[in-house]
């Protein structure tokens, strides 16, 4: 098992707007979604002794379909964000499209979506080892509100 430092982060920024058009997950996207997600989290998984190819089953993803939003350019999946309750989760960007602002776009979509629902306490969780994600969140109105140590892997 690996000890992982995990930050709970809360949004303290202002109102945001988002005009990006995302689509809900459906089973047609399973293989692409799985590959891109596993690729994006591969180094984090390996660093924390998790199987980098372990993933949700098709059935699990179908259950989550109403909370998973996908971004495409033409027919290619750029990234995804999951939104449930007051939490922004599983935000990732296809490695081919990283460092172009799509992570911020997905994050702002998530914040805007929750704000439109009237959610006041928007939170997310991020492993400290994922430095780029931590910085993205800090740069966009989130502050670390709690840090815990968790044990991941075998």
Cβ proximity of 5 and 48 under 8 Å: no
CATH tag for 2-152 (out of 3.40.50.150, 3.40.630.30, 3.40.640.10, 3.30.540.10): 3.40.630.30
What does the alpha-carbon distance between residue 123 and residue 10 come to, in Å, rounded to a whole number? Answer: 4
pLDDT for the residue 151: 87
pLDDT score of 50: 84
Query: Taking residues 51-69, what's their average pLDDT?
Result: 94
End-to-end C-alpha distance for the chain, whole angstroms:
5
Model confidence pLDDT, tens digit, residues 68-110: 999 999 999 999 999 999 999 999 999 999 999 999 999 999 9
Mean pLDDT of 29-45: 93
pTM here is 0.94
What are the start-end ranges of the E strands in the chain?
Answer: 2-11, 23-24, 68-73, 76-84, 87-93, 123-127, 142-152
d(CA 122, CA 16): 13
| pLDDT averaged over every residue in the chain | 94
């Amino acid at each position: 098992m690996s000890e992982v430092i995990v930050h709970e982060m809360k949004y303290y920024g202002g109102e945001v707007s988002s005009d990006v058009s995302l689509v809900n997950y459906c089973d047609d996207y399973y293989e692409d979604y799985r590959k891109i997600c596993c690729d994006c989290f591969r180094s984090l998984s390996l660093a924390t002794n998790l199987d980098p190819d372990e993933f949700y089953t098709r059935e699990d993803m179908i259950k989550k379909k109403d909370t998973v939003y996908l971004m495409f350019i033409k027919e290619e999946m750029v990234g995804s964000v999951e939104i449930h309750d007051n939490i922004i989760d599983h935000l990732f960007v296809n490695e081919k499209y990283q460092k172009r602002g799509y992570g911020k776009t997905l994050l702002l979509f998530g914040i805007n979506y929750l704000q439109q629902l009237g959610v006041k306490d928007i939170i997310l969780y991020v492993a400290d080892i994922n430095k780029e994600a931590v910085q993205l969140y800090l740069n966009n109105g989130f502050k670390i509100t709690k840090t815990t140590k968790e044990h991941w892997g075998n």
